[in-house]
């Protein structure tokens, strides 16, 4: 049995890779149907096997082992290997499930696209990379997967490579992510420096002994543990789009919508969250790092949500929502509520993928119209999309009993219970954020599906519900969006869904503090008392308030928003400019690098080195030879004179000495 | 026969080159091409036993050949390889057939001479990597410049004379100082055996003077900042094949020199000047990367990128740890594949459009999708993406640098950002976007011949990225031994 399971582990990523290679290399030969069949078959198999692994892990069979030695240098082995435990098994199920849904959906969404086979090849390659990332048992392979998902993200954002905005966005995404990876790689180097190995288990085992190691930094003392955690977290900030490395994610919406759902909402962007949770044995040992994590998360959660309120592009609203929700997850990590963070990662994967795919369904119905100001009243035309979008929205804003309620409420409660210095403000940001979340979500729903249609007649006449390949994934994602929260809240927060894969110090155990309030309650009783408790708390009340506000502004008094925009034009302008991050980065970093590059090239290389040293040498050789040439005149008397002169000098010198 | 493997590897291409030359005028061009391909492939096959028959457990020279050459001065025709030089010989034999294929239809004038120049150069380069006698080394070292000058000077671009003279002046000055160093060492030891120099006691002042002499020769070849400015000019003027060999192998000779001479012969000077060497290496990584960012000529951009990548090699060497040196060696081999591939990619475009300017292109992916995929792979490899060979060396060097001084790693690590920025920005402007002009619209995707050399390099780049173990395995013992030599003081 054990031997067979190892083959299963290996098969899960490899079927995706194989399918990707087939679709990519033989795309023209196997045709469209061939490409989607082989990739869907591959990822479906990966999903089924992931479920098998999940059940097997919960039956007590974990695995930690190497597949092959990638390299050996300086006595340090660098391995490729798997760590299969509760955390990775759960991630595998979530990744392969969402990926499968997106694969099926793509048949409908990319139906007319000339790059059909290429697209399927990419998303299968993505699934492979993401699986390698979550299944890794060491930092090297983690980095492999980390960069590989970045590559596929780059390829897919720029999938429509003729579009100038798309290829600007993908370059930006890759380079900004590389800024994060720069920190991440240094973090890995620091891990090797401190622990002498990159193997998770070995590092985690010796982490408590390394906690006191310090070094001098900027005139103060810093523990290596804090440095390692902060550097690794810089990587997470890139991949999980936390302020100030968030700028690439909204632009990534230039890619096809299935990608926004799979990569830029459900899976890749949560890699940072997963990584920090996986590193919980390290982060737990540095309260400084946890405080930074919580602060960054809170800033992202609140301020990115605010931008979502003013966006008119339907995908951008969902994108800013994703940024904000990633902030919620990050705060959970900071509060040591890793389980709540991963739980929210899971529920968010379902409802956010659902919302993106629903948005995509609207976009194809309107022939690639993404501006919500030209939508409205689509509820009657597209009932399934409409209904599932509502389900996704309720799950997102966190109304009980849908899934988002349980995971988000747990995060807010955990922050409340946290004793870190930033916990108070973080709690405020997250709680206020619920109002904003609810507002932008309902604004989207109302502007898209309710009210009077604002598109032209022709478009409206052609608008119809999407085909089954699109709606079936919507329905299949709507189900977990509704029930996954209630179903898994107990094992996730207070039970054994994560087993020993997450590590929390007793003094940081915020979830245990929450759990104390529900002492002795289990199953449906626990769920009900959580709902009862939550319903009277500020988050739910603010959520309802946000919904009512959106209703008032976009259904009851649709004339009001414009007035408000004029009245508060300064704030609105700042939100529209996204706080000016993009301009600042473009001018200072991109422009600055180019200016410095030019200066180095023109002044350093051309003027100083070439001009002064190289050509200067050549010139001075020429100049000297010009003088020396006069001596070699060819006249005998000149030579005779020189000889006599030399003789005189020589004789004088000999006489004197 | 086995006893003369290295000699055969050196002389087969040289004599083969002479034979190709004998095919004469361009009417016989098809014969010259086929003959050259045959010889270069034969050299590949001949070099395989170097790997398969290599004893990984010893740091001593293997496949030794030893014959008296000039008895009066104790000069020997002495050959041998260890785990440091053997992979570089394989790199040389692997790339020559690719260059021959790359020049197949492109070179229409003086075909026999062109092919012969590359074959002769192959033999001489193998000679450089396998010589264990200083004079023999010097002869190969200088000798191989001649075919390179010819290649740039005859098949090169419009400004080729300036480029060759610059190249010549730079390298000659360095080489002469190296010759002086050899003569001094001979004077001290009465021998030209490089291995004997390893144990020759030298005081610190002598070591530093010798280090500077060697530095002049090797730093120019690598090239290190600030003696790098010949490289962009040479690349721009060189024909594609010349650029490939220049970037892939010629630059490696400088780095190899540091390992073969500076570190083991002058350990104390190496340590004393390590800070200087590391500073220059880091300047190469950061400064040159920024210069690469603003290049408008694709070949210049790749040339500057080469200098930045070679900065990792010298950085890895002067950390004096096995990981750093192995990382540097891996980076040398990987850079051979990747820069070679990128220059070939530029060549593929140049052959069609006759421009190296980025602004002449745009939207090439529309008309050359297969080519775009290959170039994507090589661009990513140049950005150091894990899973490609470009990652391995940089990763090991950054890890090793961190062990010595975290700030070295911080500066070196910026390559993650800059490397991606300059490579992918170029890729974006050349390959992505809508069809930019009529020339791009008319482009034909890669031919079978072009697919062959691009695919060969793609396999090498990916293979080394996914499993660098076999490449590192052969280096371990020699590198460990070198680390011991470089850390044992001679004072």
The span from the CA of B415 to the CA of A104, in Å, is 39
Number of C-alpha atoms within 13 angstroms, CB side, residue B168?
14
Rounded distance, CA B325 to CA B313, Å? Answer: 8
Task: Write B468-473 long-range contacts (CB < 8 A, 24+).
Answer: B468/A70, B468/A71, B468/B330, B468/B389, B468/B392, B469/A68, B469/A69, B469/A70, B469/A71, B469/A72, B471/B87, B471/B330, B471/B333, B472/A71, B472/A72, B472/A73, B472/B326, B472/B330, B473/A72, B473/B56
Q: Find out whether A165 and A57 touch, Cβ atoms under 8 Å.
A: no
What is the DSSP-derived secondary structure letter of residue B444? P
Asked whether residue B289 is domain-assigned, the answer is: yes
Q: How far is CA A254 from CA A79, A169, A370, B151, in A?
A: 37, 7, 11, 47
Residue A574 confidence (pLDDT) above 50? yes
| B419 in Cβ contact with A182 (< 8 Å) | no
Per the DSSP assignment, residues forming a β-bridge with B52 are none
In a domain, B395, yes or no: yes
Question: pLDDT at position A3, please?
Answer: 59
Q: Check CB contact of B113 with chain A, cutoff 8 Å.
A: no
- Of A23, A9, A24, the residue nearest A96 (C-alpha): A9
Give me the pLDDT at residue B316, please. Answer: 96
Chain B residues within 8 A of A148 when measuring between CB atoms: 385-387
Using alpha carbons only, what angle is made at residue B378 by residues B374 and B382, rounded to the nearest 5 degrees? 165
Contacts of A171 in chain B (CB under 8 A): 424-425, 428
With CB atoms and an 8 Å threshold, state whether A186 touches B402.
yes
Name the nearest CA neighbour of B36 among B81, B82, B98, B78.
Answer: B98
Q: Helices A314-334 and A403-417, interaxial angle, to 10°?
A: 40
> What's the pLDDT at A408?
94
d(Cα B163, Cα B156) in Å, to the nearest integer? 9
The residues that bridge with B131 in the sheet, in sequence order, are B79
Residues of B in contact with A144 (CB under 8 A): 386-387
Cα B16 to Cα A504, B102, B193: the distances in Å are 70, 19, 29
Q: pLDDT tens digits for A367-381?
A: 888 999 999 889 888
CA B238 to each of CA A495, B235, B351: distance values in angstroms, whole numbers, following the listed order: 68, 5, 14
Q: What is the pLDDT of residues B394-414, one digit of tens each?
A: 999 999 999 999 999 999 999
Beta-bridged to residue B75, according to DSSP, are: B70
The 10s digit of each residue's pLDDT in A255-289 is 999 999 889 888 999 999 999 999 999 999 999 99
pLDDT attached to residue B1: 43
What is the rounded CA–CA span in Å between residue B348 and residue B330?
27
**Both tokens of residue B488?**
């044992």
- ipTM here: 0.93
Instruction: Note whether A42 and A58 are within 8 A (CB).
Output: no
* pLDDT given for residue A631 in this prediction: 66
Residue A458 has pLDDT above 90, yes or no: no
- Write the residue in B229, B406, B431 that is nearest to A614 by C-beta: B229
Asked whether residue B489 is assigned to any structural domain, the reply reads: yes
Closest Cβ opposite residue B425 in set A71, A155, A171: A171
Task: Please tell me which residue of chain A has the smallest CA distance to B465.
Answer: A70
> Could you tell me if residue B142 is inside a domain?
no
Closest-CA residue to B233 (of B320, B297, B146, B173): B297
Predicted confidence at residue A616, as pLDDT, reads: 73
Global pTM reads 0.92
Name the pLDDT band for A657 (thresholds 50, 70, 90): low
Residue A626 CB neighbour total at 10 angstroms:
9
Over residues A524-534, the mean pLDDT reads 90
Q: What is the C-alpha separation between A82 and A168, in angstroms, rounded?
A: 36
A504-528 pLDDT tens trace: 999 999 999 988 888 888 889 999 9
Report yes or no: A122 and A152 within 8 Å, Cβ to Cβ.
yes
Of the residues A68, A72, A74, the best mutation for testing chain B's interface (the one with the most B CB atoms within 10 Å of its CB) is A74
pLDDT digits 0-9 by tens, A403-442? 999 999 999 999 999 999 999 999 999 999 999 999 999 9
Please check whether residue B254 lies inside any domain of the structure. no
Instruction: Give the pLDDT score at A642.
Output: 76
Pairwise CA distance, residues B305 & B297, whole Å = 12
Give the count of alpha carbons within 13 A of A105, CB side only. 32
Decide: residue A524, CB within 10 A, 0-12 exposed, 13-18 middle, 19+ buried: exposed
Instruction: Give me the pLDDT at residue A1, please.
Output: 47
Residues of A in contact with B429 (CB under 8 A): none
Range of the domain at B453: 273-491
CA pair distance A315, B186, nearest whole angstrom = 74
Question: Does B349 reside within a domain?
Answer: yes
pLDDT lower than 50: segments of chain B: 1
**Nearest CB to A598 within list B169, B294, B398:** B294
Q: How many domains does chain B have?
A: 1
Whether residue B366 lies within 8 A of chain A, CB to CB, comes out as: yes
Question: H or E segment at B78?
Answer: strand B75-81
From A68, A161, A192, residue closest to B432, measured CB to CB: A161
Cβ neighbourhood burial of B477 (10 Å; 0-12, 13-18, 19+): middle
Query: Helix, strand or coil for residue A85?
Result: coil
Contacts of A444 (CB under 8 A, 6+ apart): A314, A317, A318, A372, A393
Q: Is B162 on the interface with A (CB under 8 A)?
A: no
Task: Identify which of A173, A166, A91 has the alpha carbon closest to the alpha carbon of residue A131.
Answer: A91
Question: If you search the block for the tokens 């490397």, which residue do you land on?
Answer: B419
Instruction: Identify whether the C-beta of residue A304 lies closer than 8 Å to the C-beta of residue A327.
Output: yes
Is the confidence at residue A455, as pLDDT, over 90?
no
- From CA A556, how far away is CA B482, in angstroms rounded? 80
Any idea which residue has 């080729």 for tokens? B160
Model pLDDT, residue B325: 96
Token match 């973090």: residue?
A187
User: A310: closest CA among A250, A391, A383, A365?
Assistant: A250
A147: which chain B residues are within 8 Å (Cβ-Cβ)? Answer: 385-387, 391
Best B223, B291, B364, B374 residue to mutate vs chain A (most A CBs within 10 Å): B291
Instruction: Tell me the Cα Rg of chain B.
Output: 21
Mean pLDDT of A131-148: 95
Q: What was the pLDDT predicted at B98?
A: 94
Residue B420: which of A155, A175, A600 has the nearest Cβ?
A175
The predicted model gives A140-144 an average pLDDT of: 95
pLDDT in tens, A464-499: 898 899 999 999 999 999 999 999 999 999 888 898
Scanning A490-537, the segments in alpha helix (DSSP H) are 510-517, 523-535
In this prediction, residue A215 has a pLDDT band, given cuts at 50, 70 and 90, of confident
Does residue B348 lie in a domain region? yes
Mean pLDDT calculated for residue range A605-612: 80
CA R_g for chain A: 31
For the cut 70, the answer to whether the pLDDT of residue A239 exceeds it is yes
Closest to A36 measured CA to CA, from A94, A122, A131, A95 = A122
Beta strands in A103-236 (DSSP E): 214-217, 220-223
**Residue range A336-351: average pLDDT?**
94
Give the list of residues 6+ apart from residue B184 with CB closer than 8 angstroms, or none: B206, B210
Query: What residues of A are in contact with residue B426 (Cβ under 8 Å)?
Result: none
Interface contact flag, A192 B387, Cβ < 8 Å: no
Question: Do B230 and B223 touch, CB atoms closer than 8 A?
Answer: yes
Residue B435 in any domain: the answer is yes
Q: For residue B479, give the chain A residue with the closest CA.
A: A74
Contacts of B414 in chain A (CB under 8 A): 182
What's the confidence (pLDDT) of residue B460? 96
User: What pLDDT does B174 receive?
Assistant: 82
The Cβ of residue A424 has, within 10 Å, a number of other Cβ atoms equal to 12
């Amino acid at each position: 049995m054990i031997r067979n399971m190892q083959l299963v582990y290996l098969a899960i990523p490899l079927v995706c890779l194989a399918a990707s290679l087939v679709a990519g290399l033989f795309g023209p030969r196997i045709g469209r149907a061939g490409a989607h069949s082989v990739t869907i078959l591959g990822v479906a198999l990966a999903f089924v096997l992931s479920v098998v692994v999940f059940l097997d892990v919960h039956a007590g069979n974990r695995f930690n082992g190497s597949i092959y030695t990638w390299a050996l240098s300086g006595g340090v082995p660098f391995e490729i290997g798997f760590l299969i435990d509760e955390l990775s098994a759960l991630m595998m199920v979530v990744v392969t499930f969402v990926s499968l849904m997106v694969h099926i959906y793509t048949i409908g969404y990319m139906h007319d696209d000339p790059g059909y086979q290429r697209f399927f090849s990419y998303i299968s390659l993505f699934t492979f990379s993401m699986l390698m990332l979550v299944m890794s048992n060491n930092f090297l392979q983690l980095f492999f997967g980390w960069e590989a998902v970045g590559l596929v993200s780059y390829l897919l954002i720029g999938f429509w490579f003729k579009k100038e905005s798309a290829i600007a966005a993908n370059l930006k995404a890759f380079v900004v992510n590389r800024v994060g990876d720069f920190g991440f790689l240094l973090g890995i180097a620091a891990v090797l420096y401190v622990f002498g190995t990159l193997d998770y288990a070995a590092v985690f085992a010796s982490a408590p002994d390394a906690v006191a190691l310090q070094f001098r930094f900027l005139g103060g003392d810093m523990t290596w543990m804090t440095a390692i955690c902060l550097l690794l977290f810089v990587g997470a900030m890139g991949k999980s789009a936390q302020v100030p490395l968030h700028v690439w994610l909204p632009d990534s919406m230039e890619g096809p919508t299935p990608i926004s759902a799979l990569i830029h909402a459900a899976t890749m962007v949560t890699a940072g969250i997963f990584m920090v949770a996986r590193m919980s044995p390290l982060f737990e040992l540095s309260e400084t790092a946890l405080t930074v994590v919580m602060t960054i998360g809170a800033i992202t959660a609140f301020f990115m949500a605010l931008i979502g309120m003013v966006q008119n592009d339907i995908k951008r609203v969902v994108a800013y929502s994703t940024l904000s929700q990633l902030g919620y997850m990050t705060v959970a990590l900071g509060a040591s509520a890793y389980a709540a963070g991963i739980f929210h990662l899971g529920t968010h994967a379902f409802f956010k993928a659902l919302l993106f795919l629903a948005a995509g369904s609207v976009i194809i119905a309107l022939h690639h119209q993404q501006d919500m100001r030209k939508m409205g009243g689509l509820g009657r035309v597209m009932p399934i999309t409409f209904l599932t979008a509502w389900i996704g929205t309720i799950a997102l804003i966190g109304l009980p009993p849908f899934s988002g309620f349980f995971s988000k409420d747990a995060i807010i409660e955990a922050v409340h219970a946290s004793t870190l210095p930033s916990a108070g403000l973080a709690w405020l940001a997250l709680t206020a954020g619920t109002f904003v979340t609810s507002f932008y979500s309902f604004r989207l729903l109302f502007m898209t599906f309710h009210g009077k249609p604002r598109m032209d007649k022709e478009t409206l006449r052609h608008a119809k519900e999407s085909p089954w390949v699109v709606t079936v994934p919507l329905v299949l994602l709507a189900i977990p969006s509704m029930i996954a929260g209630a179903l898994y809240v107990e094992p996730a927060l207070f039970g054994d869904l994560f087993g020993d894969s997450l590590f929390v110090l007793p003094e940081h155990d915020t979830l245990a503090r929450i759990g104390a309030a529900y002492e002795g309650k289990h199953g449906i009783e626990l769920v009900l008392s959580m709902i009862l408790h939550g319903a009277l708390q500020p988050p739910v009340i603010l959520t309802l308030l946000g919904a009512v506000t959106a209703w008032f502004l976009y259904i009851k008094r649709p004339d009001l928003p414009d007035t408000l925009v004029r009245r508060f034009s300064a704030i609105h302008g700042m939100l529209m400019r996204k706080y000016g991050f993009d301009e600042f980065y473009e001018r200072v970093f991109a422009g600055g690098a180019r200016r410095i590059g030019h200066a180095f090239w023109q002044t350093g290389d051309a003027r100083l080195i070439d001009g002064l040293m190289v050509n200067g040498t050549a010139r001075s050789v020429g100049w000297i030879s010009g003088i020396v040439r006069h001596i070699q005149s060819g006249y005998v008397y000149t030579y005779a004179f020189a000889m006599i002169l030399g003789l005189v000098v020589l004789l004088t010198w000999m006489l004197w000495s | 026969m086995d006893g003369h493997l290295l000699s055969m590897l050196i002389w087969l291409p040289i004599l083969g080159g002479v034979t190709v030359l004998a095919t004469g005028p361009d009417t016989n061009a098809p014969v010259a091409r086929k003959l050259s391909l045959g010889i270069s492939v034969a050299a590949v096959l001949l070099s395989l036993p170097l790997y398969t028959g290599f004893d990984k457990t010893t740091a001593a020279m293997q496949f030794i050949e030893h014959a008296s050459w000039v008895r009066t001065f104790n000069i020997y025709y002495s050959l041998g390889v260890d785990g440091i030089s053997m992979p570089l010989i394989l790199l040389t034999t692997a790339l020559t057939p690719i260059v021959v294929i790359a020049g197949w239809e492109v070179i229409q004038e003086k075909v026999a001479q062109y092919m012969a120049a590359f074959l002769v150069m192959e033999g001489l380069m193998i000679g450089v990597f396998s010589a264990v006698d200083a004079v023999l080394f010097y002869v190969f070292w200088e000798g191989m410049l001649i075919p390179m000058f010819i290649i740039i000077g005859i098949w090169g671009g419009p400004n080729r004379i300036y480029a060759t003279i610059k190249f010549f002046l730079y390298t000659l000055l360095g080489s002469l100082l190296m010759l002086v160093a050899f003569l001094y060492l001979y004077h001290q030891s009465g021998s030209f055996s490089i291995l004997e120099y390893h144990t020759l006691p030298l005081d610190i002042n002598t070591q530093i003077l010798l280090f500077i002499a060697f530095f002049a020769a090797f730093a120019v070849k690598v090239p290190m900042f600030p003696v790098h400015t010949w490289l962009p000019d040479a690349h721009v003027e060189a024909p594609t094949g010349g650029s490939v060999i220049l970037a892939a192998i010629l630059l490696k000779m400088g780095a190899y020199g540091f390992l073969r001479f500076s570190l083991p012969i002058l350990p104390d000077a190496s340590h004393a000047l390590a800070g200087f060497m590391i500073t220059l290496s880091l300047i190469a990584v950061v400064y040159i990367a920024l210069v690469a960012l603003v290049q408008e000529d694709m070949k210049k951009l790749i040339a500057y990128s080469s200098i930045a990548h070679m900065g990792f090699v010298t950085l890895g060497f002067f950390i004096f740890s096995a990981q750093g040196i192995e990382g540097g060696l891996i980076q040398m081999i990987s850079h051979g594949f990747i820069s070679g591939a990128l220059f070939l990619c530029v060549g593929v475009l140049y052959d069609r459009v006759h421009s190296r300017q980025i602004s002449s292109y745009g939207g090439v992916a529309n008309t050359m999708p297969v080519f775009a995929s290959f170039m994507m792979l090589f661009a990513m490899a140049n950005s150091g993406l894990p899973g490609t060979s470009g990652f391995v060396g940089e990763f090991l060097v950054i890890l090793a640098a961190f062990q010595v001084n975290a700030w070295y790693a911080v500066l070196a690590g910026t390559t993650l950002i800059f490397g991606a920025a300059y490579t992918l920005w170029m890729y974006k402007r050349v390959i992505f976007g809508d069809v930019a002009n009529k020339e791009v619209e008319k482009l034909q995707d890669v031919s079978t011949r072009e697919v062959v050399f691009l695919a060969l390099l793609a396999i090498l780049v990916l293979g080394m990225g996914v499993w660098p173990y076999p490449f590192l395995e052969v280096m371990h013992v020699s590198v460990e031994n070198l680390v011991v030599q470089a850390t044992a003081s001679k004072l």
